[in-house]
Amino acid sequence: MEKQQHQPKKIIVIYTSYRRGNSERLGDAFSKGAEAAGHLIEKIYLRDQTLQYCTGCEACEKTGHCVLNDDGEKIARKMVQADVVALVTPVYFGNIPGPLKTLFDRMNAVYRQPYCFRKVVVFATADQNRPEMFDGVWQSVESWLLAFPEAELAERIGVGGVNRRGEIEGHPALRQAEALGRRL
Name the residues that contact ligand FMN, by CB under 6 A: 17, 19, 21-24, 90-94, 125-128, 133, 162-163, 165
- Closer residue to ligand FMN, CB minimum distance, 38 or 161: 161
Cβ proximity to ligand FMN: between 68 and 180 the closer is 180
Q: For the CB of residue 38, give the shortest distance to ligand FMN in the complex, in Å.
A: 27
Q: How far is the CB of 60 from ligand FMN (least distance, A)?
A: 30
Q: Quick check: 77 and 106 in contact, CB under 8 A?
A: no
23 vs 108, beta carbon nearer ligand FMN? 23
Q: How far apart are CA 36 and CA 184, in angstroms?
A: 11
Distance of closest approach, residue 22 Cβ to ligand FMN, in angstroms: 4
Helices (H), the chain: 22-36, 59-63, 72-81, 98-106, 135-145, 172-182
Q: Return phi, psi of residue 72, to 5°.
A: -55, -55
Which residue of this chain has its Cβ atom nearest to ligand FMN in the complex? Answer: 21
Cβ closest to ligand FMN, residue 34 vs residue 162: 162
| Shortest distance, position 140 Cβ to ligand FMN, whole Å | 13
Shortest reach from residue 127's CB to ligand FMN, in Å: 3
Q: How far is the CB of 45 from ligand FMN (least distance, A)?
A: 11
List alpha helices for 66-134, DSSP H.
Answer: 72-81, 98-106
- Decide: helix, strand or coil at residue 105: helix
Q: Which is nearer to ligand FMN, 92 or 138 (CB)?
A: 92
With 0-12 / 13-18 / 19 or more C-beta atoms within 10 angstroms meaning exposed / middle / buried, residue 156 is middle
Q: Are 98 and 133 in contact (CB under 8 A)?
A: no
Beta pairing, strands 40-45 & 84-90: unpaired
Q: Which is nearer to ligand FMN, 24 or 73 (CB)?
A: 24
